[in-house]
Structure 1
Amino acid sequence: MKTVPPRSVVVWSGVISLLVVLASVAGLADPQVYGQETENWATQAKGQDLGNLLAVVVLVVAALRYRKGSQRAALVWLGALLYLIYAFIVYAVAVHLNYLFLVYVAVLGLSAWGLIFNVDRVRGGGIQYPQGRSRTVAAWVIITTGVLFAGLWLSELVPALLMGKVPASLTDAGLWVNPIHVIDLSMVLPGFIISGIATLKGREHGLFWLAPWLVFSGLMGSSIIAAMVLMMGAGAANTVPATVMVSVVVAASLLALWGYLRLPAPVRSDGS
């Protein structure tokens, strides 16, 4: 008998989406929201706002498909939640206190608890994972992405730390410590690499988390591209190489995700 996910999946996603749209539209339209930030950090935040609007579409569509029993959609849904958790940690701790603060906290909490409450249900749905090239390619894409960004952040941080200086990116953003460095180096990028290696070894935890991490990579990369485009529009220099690099990462992540979820489609093992 086919097990239908609870209606709360759609309701929960709807509430998150409304709050995200509220925060993102306000951030884009109201100068007061980022009025205390440096121009660099405010532009990055607006790029994140644009990425959030894309994430909302992915979250809602995936929730509706998951509600109908699609395990592929469930994996995409988890990836969208991972993205929102990451994004709203940054808003909650690295944007000056403003009238959206409790909205940031609410989205963070709802996204985190949505993931916690549902991950076991999705994982227990009897997902069948692809074999062969699509699995291998997807694993290497996420590993390469993890290594690439870890190398990028460390190439900035290690020389600055050895010389006792503050990285230029922190000065430009007006931050003491960049939460993106913290989250990426402590959790996200190790998660990419561990999931990719585990997938190559055929381990279930790697196979399960690979698709959500690819969704996360595509969404986060899209928000970075949006920020880069805004910076170029504001006259910032040297943004084209980074924009091209991230665009390649996004394209690779989405193609790998499509291949990983396409054939054979993850379905319930009970054959329903």
Structure 2
Amino acid sequence: MIANLGLNRLLWAVTGGLSVVAAAAGVMMPGLYDGLVSEELLPGALAQDLISVLAGVSLSVLAAVARPARQRQQLLALGLLGYLFYAFGIYVIERAYNGFYLVYLAIFALAFWSLVYGAVKLRRNLMAGARLSRGLRIVSASGALLQPLMFYPLWIVMLLPLMRERDQIDSLYSIFILDLAFIMPAFLILAVLVFRDQAVGLVLLPALYVLGFTLIFSLALAELLKPIYGTAPDLPALTAATLLSTLFLVIGGLHLFRLELLPQTQAPLPDPIKSAIATGS
């Protein structure tokens, strides 16, 4: 599906390898975020690093096994790149100035440009032949549209008092930037394209569901890790994150594995034209 797959695989391998190193350091070195991440956010940092290790390993494996005919694996890789862009973007924007900050910057940049390059290199003949049943297309597009409908109002309501009071918060402002400028527009655009049965939406939306699942599942995991830091899980937050991540997993999985990716061949020439070519006139 992706042209120039060799270069893409190299980018995936480098991004995945750096992610494993940086995230594993966060897991194994508890003091890495001292003075940089507030205590109440440490469960979230640990959960994110654990998921990032798995995402980095998975991306590295996909870089090793990806082949032109294994099209769904390539879409999974694009989704993992999106997750790593978001996860390490948080550390970059939140100014986590520890010994790995330059690595965070490298992953942030590599993941973004690898994602852009991979999307640009999608083969048009396969894109044009993408098919998905009408019922599943509506379900998938509706699930994607739910995200901007939910998070745009939520984040804007939280931003308005800060804007009114000219207040600068010390943490988690990266979520507003990444969600409002990147993730929610992507969900909105691809949802509209899938509703309209456009090939680019049909192909790329499963990758966005991979991103969404990994991000939201890390929030659920953070709640489960809170007892390590002496606090109790927030059951409503755990339930909401679990349900939303399950929704991403189910809809994204169905979309990915029911998606038909057949190359579109050139249409046959009309008989008069073929006859003219054959006679040389």
| TM-score, normalised via structure 2 length | 0.82
Instruction: Tell me, yes or no, if structure 1 residue 178 matches structure 2 residue 184.
Output: no
Structure of higher CA gyration radius: 2
C-alpha separation in 1, matches of 2:3 and 2:186:
29
Any idea what SS the aligned residue of 1:96 has? coil
Q: Deviations over 1:108-133 (max 9, x none)?
A: 12212212222122253513131222
Structure 1 counterpart of 2:134: 132
Any idea what SS the aligned residue of 2:261 has? coil
Structure 2 counterpart of 1:158: 160
C-alpha separation in 1, matches of 2:2 and 2:90:
36
Contact 1:43 1:231 in 2 (8 A): yes
* Residues 146/57 of structure 1: CA separation in 2 closer, same or farther (3 Å cut): farther
Structure 2 counterpart of 1:117: 117
Alpha-carbon shift at residue 145 of structure 1 (Å): 2.4
1:143 aligned to which of 142, 145, 161: 145
Q: Deviations over 1:69-89 (max 9, x none)?
A: 222222221111111111111
Alpha-carbon shift at residue 222 of structure 1 (Å): 1.7
The structure, 1 or 2, with the larger RCO (C-alpha pairs under 8 Å, 6+ apart) is 1
Structure 1 counterpart of 2:77: 77
Q: How does 1:94-243 map to 2 (within 5 A)?
A: 94-124=94-124, 126-127=126-127, 128-159=130-161, 161-162=163-164, 164=165, 170=169, 174-175=170-171, 178-236=173-231, 239-243=234-238
C-alpha separation in 2, matches of 1:3 and 1:108:
22
* Residues 65/152 of structure 1: CA separation in 2 closer, same or farther (3 Å cut): farther
Structure 2: tracts of 5 or more residues without a match: 267-281
Structure 1 counterpart of 2:273: none
Any idea what SS the aligned residue of 2:32 has? coil
Structure 2 counterpart of 1:30: 29
Alpha-carbon shift at residue 99 of structure 1 (Å): 0.6
C-alpha separation in 2, matches of 1:246 and 1:3:
32
What is the total number of aligned residue pairs between the two structures?
Answer: 263
**Matched letter for residue 238 of structure 2:** T
C-alpha separation in 2, matches of 1:267 and 1:223:
35
C-alpha separation in 2, matches of 1:134 and 1:62:
27
C-alpha separation in 2, matches of 1:246 and 1:60:
27
Instruction: Tell me, yes or no, if structure 1 residue 254 matches structure 2 residue 249.
Output: yes
Contact 1:199 1:206 in 2 (8 A): yes
Contact 2:12 2:77 in 1 (8 A): no
**Matched letter for residue 7 of structure 2:** S
**Matched letter for residue 8 of structure 1:** L
Any idea what SS the aligned residue of 1:111 has? helix
**Matched letter for residue 110 of structure 2:** L
Cα RMSD for the two superposed structures: 2.7
Structure 1 counterpart of 2:43: 43
Alpha-carbon shift at residue 244 of structure 1 (Å): 1.0
Q: Which segment drifts farther, 204-213 or 219-228? A: 204-213
C-alpha separation in 2, matches of 1:123 and 1:138:
23
**Matched letter for residue 8 of structure 2:** V
Contact 2:145 2:187 in 1 (8 A): yes
Structure 2 counterpart of 1:86: 86
C-alpha separation in 1, matches of 2:108 and 2:47:
18
| TM-score, normalised via structure 1 length | 0.85
